[in-house]
Chains A and B, each alone.
Chain A
Amino acid sequence: MKRLLTALTAVAVAATVHAHDMVPGEPQTQAILLQGGTLHTVANGTLENTDLLFEQGKITAIGDAIEVPSDARVIDVSGQHVYPGIIAMDTVLGLVEIEAVRATRDTDEVGPVHPEVSGHVAYNPDSEVIPTVRYNGITHAQVVPQGDLIMGRSSLMKTDGWTWVDASEQTNLGIHVSWPNTAISDAWWERRSPEEQRKAQAEARQRLQQVFVDAKAYYEAKQADKSIAKDIRWEAMTGLFDGSEKLYVHADDKRQIEQALAFAREYGFQLVIVGGRDAWRIIEPLRAAQVPVVYGAPYGLPSRDDESYDQAFRAPSQLIQAGVQVAIAIPGYWDIRNLPFAAGNTVAFGLDKEAALRAITLTPAEIMGVADRLGSLEVGKQASLIISQGDVMSQLGQDLSHMFINGAEVDLNNRHKQLYEKYKQK
């Protein structure tokens, strides 16, 4: 065992040698002008051949005749495309290095109820995965603890940073709940009868209800008496009751979503549906309740045999066109680098390109309450943006020349590029 550990350590050391090559970007001190690019502002349409100036991490001007500080660094981006940084929701980025190696997984805490854990705490900024993800334009990722019922609290992380502390953009966004199953399975490995399945589902819902009864009792008791003994589980949930945090319910089935809607209405929570495969089946209730959907199956197979082959592809288009707020996400870690392509795929199935881009930039920022500083190219917002030679949502166009997060230039090198360059020489 000892030898094995030594071997693993040796590998880990060898691997991290590369990681240290990518130095986190320095805080912006010099003004930077992006000159002559096509700006995909998301908020205000596409501006051809337009300049963008940012200083001290903030966008300070967009236009044709910007007054540029004399010491500004000027980057000619003519012919290139400038986008706000892409924001990946519902990920485990930084919590997992190698999925099959248990020692590298920090996603699931013990038992079904652990609201007290927070995603940012285990976020490994030196993960080899992170630079490969930002290579495709992802500047921020929502990091979500996993679990069977009350999963914990998610945080929005930058994809560049020395530590999880300076990589944190916004911690503790809200409580994540994995909604109990509602579907009845007839798969051959499901040995429980439909009645047994329904019973188990009802028990899980009962358990969920009890958690919220207890958490609410704690919240109210604390309102009355600040000095009560601190239960760190229910303490973590107080933000739901005072309205400062949102409830993210991971639910795919129509019945799950309906139950979550009723539940959130009962408690007055700000609800976000995560997953949302069946959201297209209940568009009107979602729209009426103004509940956003973090749609997790842009590349999904149909959920059911009778659904059309492209149902999962076109659901975002159906929802957005009907007025539901939708972010597109890929639940995962290494594979979230495909998020811009996944958004592009929804265009092939009915969404217009600007709406698709919004679903991976501004809408995620809005859902997570950071749209005041992220998600679009607007004066006053963070200079978290990417520059690509071509269309970032197309495999034929995406080719990043620069990435800035909060004005700091990000190293686009990564393990894959390094190995590529190395073996080119063999």
Chain B
Amino acid sequence: MNGSRHLSRIALALLAATSGAAVADQTTPVQGIHDKTPTLVALQNATIYTEPGKRIEHATLVVENGKIKAINSNNRAPQGARVIDASGQVIYPGFIDPYGNYGVPQAEQPERGGYRSKPPLYNNKREGGNASNDAIHAQSNWVDSFAADKDAAQSYIAQGFTAVQSAQLDGILQGRAVTVSLADKIPNDLVYRAQSKQFASFDKGSSMQQYPSSLMGSIALLRQALSDANWYEQAAGKQAYNGPVEYNAALAALTDIEEVGVVFQVDDELSLLRADQLLDEFKVPVTYVASGFEYARVDAVKATQANLIVPLNFPAAPAVTGVDDDLDVDLADLRHWERAPGNPAALAQAGIDFSLTLSQLEDKSQFWPNLRKAVKHGLSEQQALAALTTVPARIAGISDKAGKLAPGYMADFVVASDNLFNGGEVMSVWLQGQQQTLKSSEQAHFAGTYQVQVDGQSYRLNISGDEQRLQGQLNDDNAIRHVSRDDDSLSFVADLNDTGAWRFKLSQSAQQQLSGTAVAPDGRELQVSATRTTDDTEASEQTTAQADVNYVSRLTYPNVAYGLSGLPERQNLLIKNATVWTSAESGILENTDILIRDGEFSRIGQDLSAPSGYQVIDAQGKHVTPGIIDEHSHIAISQGVNEGSEAITAEVRIGDVVNPDDIHIYRSLAGGTTMAQLLHGSANPIGGQAQVIKLRWGTDAATMKFDAAPGSIKFALGENVKQSNWGENYTVRYPQTRMGVQTIMRDGFQTALEYQRRQQQYDDMSRSERQRTAPPRRDYRLDTLLEILNKQRFVHAHSYVQSEILMLIRLAEEFGFTLTTFTHILEGYKVADEMAAHGASGSTFADWWAYKFEVYDAIPQNACLMQQNGVLTSVNSDSNDLQRRLNTEAAKSVRYCGMSPADALKMVTINPAKQLKIDQYVGSIEAGKQADFVIWDENPLTSYAHVEQTWINARKFFDRQQDIAERQAVYDEKQQLIQKVLAAGESAKQGAQNGYKAPQPTWHCDTEHDFWLDHFSEQHHQHLHAGGGQH
């Protein structure tokens, strides 16, 4: 094996100069002499993988005119073929990358300037029937600007790739990719599939438009675009209510998206699931460009049934060598460092079809080392080869011509020195029958120990080091000098027997044999021969080939500190002798028992006995309350709480971006909170749709959503929506006054009603009328406004001052609906009677004030006054800190205005449940309600109380004793992982520098920034009160 390997390298080196002739261009006039060099080539005596799992030994691969002519297992070459001895070599189909930006111009990144340093852009430049949003350019056909790029191709070819599916990776709908060969020819010969898949992402990329500024905005925009495409398919050429249906190139390009399919790039596994839900709704077939975190939720990823394109950007280990470095390193990152190389294996074991990609790899030369690492982590060679050949061929739509070695397929293949997944190297890559010899494989391999014969004497020569920087000794202690090499010869100077300096030049002449010339100190030229006795590199490669994987990290849900190993079990329970705050008619009951069965409260009374199989909790001296419910929360939201770009963004949905990984879910459980309404921020008058969740830590976004809650939406009034504190550049969006807040809302509702009327008119049309008439375009924004007017969606309005409160009440009455809750409502006490008369409830801060002008009249007696005037009143948090201690926030009404303790607790239990219209399920301890409850060590309205246990649907999601044990487990696991990083030494530093999830910021109501532009207001804003943020 060794010998043939060295020989074949020489053979290849010789061949490099005479590699296969080009196939002539077919339509280009020939200048000068026609090239008619024969192209028939046979690679003989190779091991050939024709496709994953199919191996032929001693086979001959016959190539002609850029295609594979035959694969002969009898090892015979056709007559007239140029024969290449490929003995001992392994031939694979050329690798295909289904996601890249090769040969297509990159997007220009516009100059954005500093945070809010430029006036905002709301509308884009219209040209050529483009979409109204610059992030949507589905009509782009990237084949139109494709040309070979020799340098860029080289980074692919060096890893064995021969084809790539390519597009400009910019925007939400990026246009149709083109699948091309990486050969160096005119584009006409390279295009394997001119119109390949549509590429997409959630990132608006180079678009300077304000909308969308958040992940939920991107999702909403994509939803509208896909819906528009369906509409356009039916409407094009017909008459719309306000003229003929427009020409829209982007929508026209999307009409066959159900057949074309998309390649969708996502930031993490949560966004993969988000995209899947949306694309599934529109029956768009999809392949995801994964993030490398899929192992953390592999079952959910599997359930999408989608194919993946997986990067191998395994991260460098977090820095932990310094004594305090661990302060900046989270357990979650250490876990990911350990398990990232196992992601491909985890996907394969789950039965998910996936391709690999070079994209997202900062250093492309790490591809093979990383892939071998993935193999060590359990990815089989066959799966790995499929991920490089057949699967990407399918994704890129070229299964009929590439991804396998078979007659008629393109002559795209990789010649390797040995099994690539176990130490072999790519020696040459053939693209359309043209050989590209890789530099490394042209070089003879010199490291090793030789017996050298010169001038009748014998010496031992040891050559070691990197092949590019060799060094050596003669007879062990006599260092050789001036060592240099070229592809096939080695030169050096050595002192022999004190005679002086000898000059040597050696070349490989046979297996294990070097020969050449030596010049003696006296000028004589003498023949030299050297016989290799041992080979350095073989030994080192063998040591890297074996490793087994033992993970010291745990895999939890979510995969962060304090994650759970699974959903806590539902239990039947008897709680004995507690002080029970029922938040119901019965008030506060001393020495009371609660029987919990099948997830619900079943009996509340005294001296209850436990049926067999029930767990009994002795709660003597303890207090039990309903689970706390927060009307106003911004935890558990990914990538933007505000779609603060346009004045009305009713189409965006917090429900699209629920983040089950947010540690604040767990921290809030530790403060007794079991439910929260996740609200859109307050940057625009009509913001996005809200999402009510149960804080089921350890589950997924879908499980956390409380489906029984009716739809709700955030409105906002006052300073935030008129952009009072956004700087001088932000003065162009309507509205800039409280007057305009009213009129833009009125205009929105009016338009929604007209939209509804048009829909009804269309429904009533005759068949012939419909043939001329475009169906009304579905408008998700107006749909949402109609839901409000039709009392299917309920309004929670951020509001402060009495004028705007009354304005909104009057406006709602004008349009015939009732406002559900005024949230914040710090001047609610001034108009409590009007609120009560309208039927609106109020959800207030306990004591916040003075942080901006519109809260200068806020008072901590607000809740009392509202309640006394008959307003259903709750206390909310709007803060991941306060959400942990809403009990004592409610207690402030006892302090400031003498509310009864029972009523105070209701403000964070049954009252918010009523405001969310879920009080038939939760909010009080009454028979038949869901068993969401909290056990406290003390009266929960005092500072002195802490939570002992928090239960949701009779499942225990928080237990202080378990938490105390878990702290130690987190600590221990972290130490073990740090040890593992330290033990890995320098190798731990290799890997991607951007391979970890960036922490999400703390969202506040007015955390208004463009997520996609990386600007973030809180970094520019110092807060003078401990809570931080504004509201």
Contacts and interface: CB of A to CB of B under 8 A. Distances in A.
Contact of A254 (B327, B856, B894, B999): B327
B666 A333 contact: no
B1016 A189 contact: yes
Contact of B967 (A98, A299, A308, A393): A308
Interface string A391-403: 0011111110000
Contact of B942 (A332, A396, A424): A396
B895 A396 contact: yes
B332 to A, nearest CB: 7
Query: Which secondary structure dominates chain A's binding surface?
Result: loop
Given A98-B850, A255-B327, A299 B881 contact: yes
Given A185-B328, A189-B1019, 12 more contacts: A101-B853, A194-B319, A305-B332, A305-B999, A306-B331, A309-B670, A347-B943, A349-B946, A395-B891, A397-B942, A398-B895, A420-B859
Interface in A95-132: 96-101, 105, 107-108, 128-129
A349 B943 CA distance: 10
Contacts of A71: none
Nearest to B937: A348
Nearest to A398: B895
Contact of A308 (B850, B881, B943, B963): B963
Given A146-B1022, A395-B888, A186 B996 contact: yes
Interface string B860-890: 1100110000000000000011001100100
Contacts of B724: 100
A305 B895 contact: no
Interface residues of B, number: 79
Contacts of B888: 341, 345, 395
Contact of A305 (B560, B829, B857, B1025): B560
A205 B946 CA distance: 41
Contacts of B1022: 108, 146
B998 interface: yes
Interface in B541-561: 560-561
A333 B895 contact: no
Contacts of A300: 881
Contact of B327 (A128, A183, A191, A397): A183
B839 to A, nearest CB: 19
Contact of A100 (B666, B719, B946, B999): B719
B1026 A332 contact: yes
A85 interface: no
A254 B325 CA distance: 11
B1025 A334 contact: yes
A99 B1025 CA distance: 9
A15 B861 CA distance: 19
Contacts of A423: 829-830, 832, 865
6 contacts: A99-B852, A108-B1022, A188-B1014, A254-B324, A300-B881, A396-B939
A57 interface: no
A309 B833 CA distance: 41
B943 A345 contact: yes
Interface string A184-197: 11111101011000
A370 B829 CA distance: 42
Contacts of B1023: 99
A105 B1024 contact: yes
Given A99-B1024, A334-B1025, A15 B865 contact: no
A97 B670 contact: no
B1024 A305 contact: no
Contacts of A229: none
A332 B1024 contact: yes
Chain A interface size band reads 35 or more
A252 to B, nearest CB: 11
Contact of B881 (A296, A301, A396, A419): A301
A187 B333 CA distance: 13
A332 B1025 contact: yes
Contact of B941 (A92, A189, A395, A426): A395
Nearest to B936: A348
A245 interface: no
A345 B881 CA distance: 13
A99 B832 CA distance: 27
B970 A309 contact: no
Nearest to A92: B1024
Contacts of A184: 319, 328
A305 B853 contact: no
B749 to A, nearest CB: 30
Nearest to B881: A301
Contact of A189 (B667, B1015, B1027): B1015
Interface in B915-956: 937-939, 941-946
Given A310-B670, A396-B901, A98 B852 contact: yes
B999 A186 contact: yes
B998 A100 contact: no
Interface in B992-1027: 993, 996, 998-999, 1001, 1014-1016, 1019, 1022-1027
A3 interface: no
Given A98-B856, A344-B944, A396-B901, A183 B1024 contact: no
A304 to B, nearest CB: 7
Contact of A347 (B331, B560, B944, B1026): B944
Interface in B892-913: 892, 894-897, 901
A309 B667 contact: yes
A424 B850 contact: no
A420 B945 CA distance: 29
A335 interface: yes
Contacts of A301: 664, 667, 880-881
Given A255-B327, A309-B667, A419 B857 contact: yes
Interface string B701-725: 0000000000000000001000011
A22 to B, nearest CB: 16
Interface in A229-281: 253-255, 278
A254 B328 CA distance: 11
A187 B1009 CA distance: 15
Contacts of B1026: 296, 299, 330-332, 335
A25 interface: no
Contact of A15 (B560, B856, B944, B1030): B856
* Closest 8 pairs (CB-CB, A-B): A344-B943, A188-B998, A100-B852, A395-B891, A332-B1025, A420-B861, A416-B859, A189-B1016
B1025 A348 contact: no
Contacts of B993: 193
B670 A348 contact: no
Contacts of A187: 998-999, 1001
Contacts of B943: 341-345, 347-348, 393-395
A341 B832 CA distance: 29
A410 B95 CA distance: 83
B847 interface: yes
Contacts of B830: 423, 426
Contacts of A333: 850, 1024-1025
B965 to A, nearest CB: 11
A186 B667 contact: no
A338 B330 contact: no
B122 interface: no
B22 interface: no
